[in-house]
Amino acid sequence: MDSGDRAARRLFFSAGLTCALAGLLVLGFMVVLGLPLIRSGMLWDILTGPWSPDHGQFGILAMAVGSVYIAGLSLIIAFPVSLGASLFIEVVRPRGAGRLLEWLVRLMTAIPTVIYGFVGIFLLVPLVRSFSGQGSGLCILTAALMLAVLICPTMILFFSRSIARVPRTWLDAVDAMGGTPYQKVRHIIFPAAWPGIVSGTVLAFGRAVGDTLIALMLGGNAVTLPESVLDSARTLTAHIALVIAADFDSLEFKTIFISGILLYVMTGLGILAARAAEKNL
């Protein structure tokens, strides 16, 4: 290996290290800026208390619950549809239609989230308002429905990839024994592809928790603990976007770094969980 090769290797390594540390850098910045709050001993109040800046209360529990509520509901809506659609692409495979759907799903990944939010405001919100007959239509259900559309492609592509990885010979064996497609799915595909299905679901949940625009535009942004799907709620992401305009030195402002750390930890754990599931494949 000559000196040019060695220099190039060193250069590539340092770039690699920079990329690897970039994620930690993001966390580091937030921890440093959130540190005054963590040190002040108010962390527990902030994580569990109510949000009422006028009374000196800066709890973000309602936002954390809002995030999980909206993301969870969108997952419940999107999961069956995604599973059905990925089985449609990989197992039912009607000629032409299967490929068309696959192409559409891929295309959906390119649609900006702000457009989902925009269409949501002018199309979905009035619909939800007239169906529910109460409130403004800006509520958990509206945000979750739109969010479900956003995370569907992630899940479908992940599911269909793990279904496609099931060895062809196993499926041929079922066919040879006279098994029906349903039996194939139940006894071969699900048992073999479940780790992929789990990790796809976890990643989609992370995407739903991490999305800002849809929850911000459609969720209504109330700061109280939500009780029903027709209640308005604020997510951690929307909270960051809304409080960023506050005075920098205020306690109110510092809570957004705690929100950021919380979001970081949630999505980071999601990645670890998805990887653990993949290892079982």
Partner 1 sequence: MIPSRVNGEACDRLMTLFCWGCALTLTLVLAAILGFLFFKGWHVLGPKLIFGEVRPLDALLFKKRVFSGLFPAALGTFCLICLAVGTALPLGLACGIYMAEYASNRVKSFFSLMVDILAAIPSIVVGLFGFSITVFLHHYFGGRILPCLGISGIALAFLVLPYIVKTTRIALEQIPLEIRMTGLSLGASPLQNLRHVLIPASLSDIMAGIVLAIGRCAEDTAVIMLTGVVATAGVPKSLFSPFEALPFFIYYTASEYSDPAELEAAYGAALILLAICTGLFIISFQIKRRYNSFN
* Region binding partner 1 by CB under 8 A among candidate stretches 158-166, 174-182, 187-195, 224-232: 174-182
* Size of residue set near partner 1 by CB under 8 A: 85
Which amino acid belongs to residue 191?
A: P
Our CB check for partner 1 shows the closer of 14 and 52 to be: 14
How many C-beta atoms lie closer than 10 Å to residue 182's C-beta?
A: 9
Binding marks (x or -) toward partner 1, 59..98, rule CB under 8 A?
---------------------xxxxxx-xx--xx----x-
How far are the Cα atoms of 31, 56, 175, 228, 240 from residue 256, in angstroms, in the given order?
Answer: 11, 15, 56, 25, 5
Backbone dihedral region for residue 6 (phi beyond 0: left; psi -120 to 50: alpha; all else: beta) = alpha
Minimum distance between the CB of residue 123 and partner 1, rounded to whole angstroms?
5
Residue 260 engages partner 1 in binding (rule: CB under 8 A): yes
Position among 51, 158, 159, 257 found at the interface with partner 1 (CB under 8 A):
257
Minimum distance between the CB of residue 20 and partner 1, rounded to whole angstroms?
4
Which amino acid belongs to residue 146?
A: M
* DSSP-based three-state secondary structure for 47: helix
Residue 143 engages partner 1 in binding (rule: CB under 8 A): no
Residue 247 engages partner 1 in binding (rule: CB under 8 A): no
**Positions in 7-26 near partner 1 (CB under 8 A):** 8-9, 11-13, 15-16, 18-26
CB 189 within 8 A of CB 89: no
- 225-248 burial, b at 16+ Cβ within 10 Å, e below that, comes to ebeebbbbbbbbbbbbbebeeeee
Minimum distance between the CB of residue 26 and partner 1, rounded to whole angstroms?
4
For residue 165, the Cα-to-chain-centroid distance in whole angstroms is 24
Residue 268 engages partner 1 in binding (rule: CB under 8 A): yes
Minimum distance between the CB of residue 135 and partner 1, rounded to whole angstroms?
17
How far are the Cα atoms of 42, 57, 167, 204, 215 from residue 76, in angstroms, in the given order?
Answer: 35, 33, 29, 11, 16
**Positions in 111-140 near partner 1 (CB under 8 A):** 111-119, 121-123
Minimum distance between the CB of residue 270 and partner 1, rounded to whole angstroms?
6
* DSSP-based three-state secondary structure for 233: strand
Binding marks (x or -) toward partner 1, 180..219, rule CB under 8 A?
xxxx-x-----------------x--x--xxxxx---x--
